[in-house]
Amino acid sequence: MLSLWRKRMQRYLHRVVNLPQTVRKWLRWKYDLVVLTFQVTFYNEFMNGSYMLEVFMEPMVWVVDHFTKALGPILVGGVIVLTSTVVFIVYWVGLPYYWNKSKLLTSFLIVLGHWLLINVVFHFFMAAYTDPGTPPQGILISEAVSVCKKCIAPKPPRTHHCSVCNRCVLKMDHHCPWLNNCVGHYNHRYFFKYMVYMTAGTIFIMSLGFEIAYQEIWIGGESGPGLSEAFDYVMEEEEEVLEGYPARVNGTHMIPVYGGTTGSPVPFEPSAEETEKERIHYWYRFSIMYCGMLTTGVFFSLGGLASWHSRLISRGETSIEAHINKKETERLAKINQIYQNPYDFGAKENWRIFLGMVNGRGLLHVLFPSTHLASGNGLTWPNSVLSKATHDKAA
């Protein structure tokens, strides 16, 4: 009896001593059970850390995308209004100035300026309202490289999903809020040429407007004294001694006195004609400064963007592909391999394909507005790596 009681006590003491470990094992088992239940219920082949982060960021991305979509029409209207004001100022200020200076030169400038203006308006309209292209539904896509997780549909090469437009876009470069449209296969050329012609237009205005700004703002003209005279006045150490005749003041007029006789009263307030003239001169100078600052800002912003896209086009890649190719280059470099962009056929051929200079099209289709379609259908793309390998094998 005593030995039986002793065994029971040993068993109880052993349970008490091992209680923390037993509880830990029970909690671990429950945790594994919950994880297993979650994975079975919500199983996803693509589940990883980046996918989970994307899911948690989805509400913020939703807000940004919808804000961008709502802001798009406002930005498009802003571009139209700002461009229209600059064109108006050129007609109001620049055209009369150069017409009085040289009618022959002005005639040439009118032709050149309107060529730039027509190209800017045409390519902006086409870039904003041309559908960039999307994979067709209900047909077999022979070269699908993946399946879009958003559309649950096959994606051709160079196709990416735009979260703002909520669709896949062929050869997507980016979503441009200033166009309220995606830049893709069918409107990429219009977008690039708009930037080029707009940058050329700002150079045209700044180079011709510098003389006007120098004369009206710095030197001074009919609108009044310039900044140079104002600086000279500020830098003067002594005030100028006023000399003249005595005068009487009655609150609204100043009456000069000449040897006991009074002259014609001079009103303090300018006449309506002088007020209107001053108002016109004020807006004249304001327009010059406004046009100068706006065109300078557009020149640096669009000029830099056009320069960057020129390098991308020369390498046969889009903005998205530039990041992908950079990562692939770094990844393969770690294993002593060289990455080759399959869509790079050399700078000259890349530009020819991009501008659509095929089937007899030449430089006139680049210098003047043209609605010719982009090369290819955006679903299949020639591969420079395979072409080179085939050529080498044949040789």
* Tokens (6 digits) for 353: 């394909």
* Number of residues in the chain: 395
* Tokens (6 digits) for 305: 């963007």
Task: Kindly tell me the sign of the dihedral angle through the C-alpha atoms of 343, 346, 349, 350.
Answer: positive
CB contact at 8 A, 156 and 141: yes
Instruction: Report helix, strand or coil for 148.
Output: strand
Distance CA 168, CA 147 (A): 11
CA 152 to chain centre: 29
Which candidate in 165, 176, 182, 291 is catalytic?
176
Q: What CA–CA distances, in Å, run from 263 to 243, 247, 268?
A: 17, 9, 15
Distance CA 107, CA 227 (A): 32
Identify the CA nearest to 319 among candidates 189, 171, 115: 171
* Tokens (6 digits) for 363: 């430089």
Distance CA 154, CA 332 (A): 27
CA 258 to chain centre: 68
- Contacts of residue 305, defined as CB under 8 A and 6 or more positions apart, other chains included, come to 195
* Tokens (6 digits) for 372: 């010719």
**DSSP string of 187-218, one letter each residue:** THHHHHHHHHHHHHHHHHHHHHHHHHHIIIII
- Contacts of residue 173, defined as CB under 8 A and 6 or more positions apart, other chains included, come to 182, 183, 184, 188, 191, 318, 319, 320
Query: Is 176 marked active-site?
Result: yes
Distance CA 378, CA 395 (A): 30
In this structure, what are the phi and psi dihedrals at residue 222, rounded to the nearest 5 degrees?
A: -65, -20
Distance CA 230, CA 124 (A): 42
Active-site amino acid positions: 176
